[in-house]
Amino acid sequence: MPTATPAAALLLLAAALPLLPLSSAATRCPDCGSNPVPYPLSTSPTCGDQSYKVQCDAGGTLLFDTLNNSYPITSVDPENQRLVVQPASLLANTCVTSDLVHQGVQLNSSLPFNVTSSNTILFLNCTSTLLNSPLNCSSASLCHTYVNGTAGAAACGAAAICCTFRAGGSTTSYSIRVRDAGCRAYTSFVNLDPSEPVNLWPKPGMEIQWVLPPEPVCGAQSDCDGNATCRADPAGGGVSRCFCQPGLTWDPTQGVCVESLTSGIGVALLGAIVALLLYRRHRRIQEARERLTREHFNRATDDVNLAVYVQRMVEEERIMDVVDPMLKEQASTANVETMKALGFLAVGCLEERRQNRPSMKEVAEEIEYIMSVATAEVVES
Ligand SMILES: *[C@@H]1O[C@H](CO)[C@@H](O)[C@H](O)[C@H]1NC(C)=O
Ligand SMILES: *[C@@H]1O[C@H](CO)[C@@H](O)[C@H](O)[C@H]1NC(C)=O
Ligand SMILES: *[C@@H]1O[C@H](CO)[C@@H](O)[C@H](O)[C@H]1NC(C)=O
Ligand SMILES: *[C@@H]1O[C@H](CO)[C@@H](O)[C@H](O)[C@H]1NC(C)=O
Ligand SMILES: *[C@@H]1O[C@H](CO)[C@@H](O)[C@H](O)[C@H]1NC(C)=O
Ligand SMILES: *[C@@H]1O[C@H](CO)[C@@H](O)[C@H](O)[C@H]1NC(C)=O
Ligand SMILES: *[C@@H]1O[C@H](CO)[C@@H](O)[C@H](O)[C@H]1NC(C)=O
């Protein structure tokens, strides 16, 4: 008689994990000083994607190049394709930013980077022509609050014209322009809460996002690894790209071909379903025995302990801790989310009281929903 326990269920779940997409960061650039350089950012012609060039200076600082200038990168968030640069500062005792000569931040609009709408931009030392602009240049504008509350901006003067706006519109996606005939200084804050007092504002920063990269450009098959074929891009552009072999899918956040989610998840799903079916059967047998003998079935202590342990982990939202950390590392983010969702479902089936456990129909519906979300994520990216 098969005696499937929660331990067996989890083992089956874990056994399905290695079949999920593996990622090897083969084309990722080496760290810049202590800063990781996630794909697709590229610090040299031999790594990353060449459309996503950044600089690594001798001091180990990453720099983001604009058309005529460069800015230190203070943080990178590869999962959300975003980085934050440090905007230019004011020249000493003036209200002019050091990049006025370059007309402020000018991105090359042919490149896959743009300025996000999370930036609150403060324009300082503006001419009166700005009063006719759609920007908020009123005396209540946040830029006045900033000037009044910032020692380093004292030169900008409380009475001078300044304006505030949220970046990311079509005109400001590639350009935060300062010039003599407009505003001569600016600063920027990411996700600024205007109700906070100025001394609690974050450091100035400008957030820039990038488009997920397509498959890398290649000149010959030798430019691709064994999992991809160099062939003409059907989308045009007259270039060839390393397209993944059948059964593999391009993962733009890791820059590698991974096993297609559908096949990888299919196996994991099968494992999870088998585990659930076995476990529920085990519970039914237990319940039948309980009813027949009218006495509590004596489960093995470790069985009880494991169920309690897993349940506690779920309560503390630490379900992935019960999965081997090495397996966890190998699963992509989307799959970790899927595993978590399946894990929560599995734990629902461990509920002590029968009425708290989902029915098999509910389990099937829930799995179908989880899978549709997982599949949608892949299609989106
Ligand atoms: C404002 O900008 C003008 C033009 O660049 C400059 O001459 C002036 O010094 C600036 N004002 C301050 C207070 O720095
Ligand atoms: C940027 O540099 C190019 C050539 O190096 C120059 O022609 C152009 O005027 C510069 N633009 C700005 C805004 O500084
Ligand atoms: C902008 O980027 C494109 C694509 O890399 C490049 O061909 C072009 O020369 C760049 N433009 C300038 C002004 O640097
Ligand atoms: C300008 O900004 C201030 C402060 O956020 C706000 O109170 C005011 O209503 C804004 N004015 C306009 C015209 O949007
Ligand atoms: C300017 O700042 C001072 C103290 O930092 C504050 O008392 C005052 O109300 C502020 N004025 C304005 C107009 O925000
Ligand atoms: C900026 O980039 C995002 C994705 O990275 C894209 O969805 C958006 O359309 C871009 N905005 C502009 C104005 O190009
Ligand atoms: C090819 O893909 C498989 C599965 O994702 C992976 O294990 C292997 O490391 C990849 N090979 C190369 C050369 O990247």
State whether 88 and 141 are in the same domain: yes
Does 125 fall in a domain?
Answer: yes
Tell me, in angstroms, the distance from the centre of ligand 5 to residue 165's CA.
21
Tokens found for residue 222: 């030798």
Q: List, for residues 150-163, the tens digit of each pLDDT value.
A: 999 999 998 899 99
State whether 270 and 376 are in the same domain: yes
State whether 182 and 230 are in the same domain: no
Domain count along the chain: 4
Tell me, in angstroms, the distance from the centre of ligand 2 to residue 52's CA.
21
State whether 206 and 224 are in the same domain: no
Does 181 fall in a domain?
Answer: yes
Tell me, in angstroms, the distance from the centre of ligand 4 to residue 142's CA.
8
State whether 344 and 321 are in the same domain: yes
Q: Which of the listed residues 67, 68, 103 should we mutate to test ligand 2's pocket, taking the one with most ligand atoms within 8 A of CB?
A: 68
State the first-to-last Cα distance of the chain, in angstroms, to the nearest integer.
46
Does 72 fall in a domain?
Answer: no
State whether 196 and 226 are in the same domain: no
State whether 107 and 200 are in the same domain: yes
Structural domain span for residue 43: 27-65
Whose Cα sits closest to atom 7 in ligand 6?
A: 211
State whether 194 and 104 are in the same domain: yes
Does 256 fall in a domain?
Answer: no
Q: What residues are in contact with ligand 5 under a 6 Å CB criterion?
A: 145, 148-149
Does 37 fall in a domain?
Answer: yes
Whose Cα sits closest to atom 12 in ligand 4?
A: 136
State whether 96 and 203 are in the same domain: yes
State whether 161 and 239 are in the same domain: no
Angle at 240 between CA 236 and CA 242, to 5 degrees: 125
State whether 97 and 201 are in the same domain: yes
Q: Is 114 in the pocket of ligand 6 (CB under 6 A)?
A: yes
Does 252 fall in a domain?
Answer: no
The span from the CA of 161 to the CA of 182, in Å, is 10
> Which ligand sits closest to the CA of 104?
2
**Which pLDDT value is given to residue 293?**
61
> Which ligand sits closest to the CA of 97?
1
Tally the C-alpha atoms within 13 A of residue 381's C-alpha that lie toward its C-beta. Answer: 23
The angle that helices 6-16 and 301-315 make with each other, rounded to 10 degrees, is 60
Q: What is the pLDDT along the chain (381 residues), one digit of tens a residue?
A: 343 344 444 444 444 444 333 333 358 999 999 999 999 999 999 999 999 999 999 999 999 999 999 999 999 999 999 999 999 999 999 999 999 999 999 999 999 999 999 999 999 999 999 999 999 999 999 999 999 999 999 999 988 999 999 998 788 899 999 999 999 999 999 999 999 999 999 999 999 999 999 999 999 999 898 999 999 999 988 999 999 999 899 999 999 998 875 555 555 565 666 666 666 666 776 777 666 665 444 444 445 555 566 566 656 666 555 554 444 555 566 566 776 777 777 777 666 677 777 777 777 778 778 777 766 665 554
State whether 376 and 272 are in the same domain: yes
Tell me, in angstroms, the distance from the centre of ligand 4 to residue 260's CA.
50
Q: List, for residues 60-71, the tens digit of each pLDDT value.
A: 999 999 999 999
Does 191 fall in a domain?
Answer: yes
Tokens found for residue 189: 């804050």
**Which pLDDT value is given to residue 68?**
95
